[in-house]
Amino acid sequence: MHFIRYNLISKILSKYRDNRDLYNHDNFFYFNNKVGNINRIGKGFLFNEDEIVPVDWKKIKGKDLVAIFNEIKNKNFYFYKDINGKFYKTRPKKRDVKK
């Protein structure tokens, strides 16, 4: 992998950690729009839809990495929050997005 790819992966993971800390959520963030077959990120790994084994970072195309970064940066994701024993789909507010 080359520098641009490493840098983009680093930025994706950094945004994931920032959102994890901001929302106090240590599980999956599901993308509103799938990127290829990838529909979620969690624990620093990307996952295909309906699979439990993470996707190898080396096998993800460059344009998909850019799309994933944009989904996370623009907060186009949701997560499930446990409230009184029930899980509710929670979306971040768009006003939190920094341009």
Mean pLDDT by 10 residues, the chain (99 residues): 88 94 92 92 92 92 94 93 88 67
The per-residue pLDDT for 57 is: 92
By the 10 Å C-beta count (0-12 exposed, 13-18 middle, 19+ buried), 79 is classed as buried
Residue 1 pLDDT: 56
- State the pairing for strand pair 77-83/45-48: unpaired
Please report the pLDDT score of residue 92 as a whole number: 87
| DSSP SS3 for 88 | strand
What pLDDT does residue 99 have? 52
Q: What is the reported pLDDT for 19? A: 92
Predicted local confidence at residue 34, as pLDDT = 93
Residue 47 structural domain: 3-96
**Domains of the chain: total:** 1
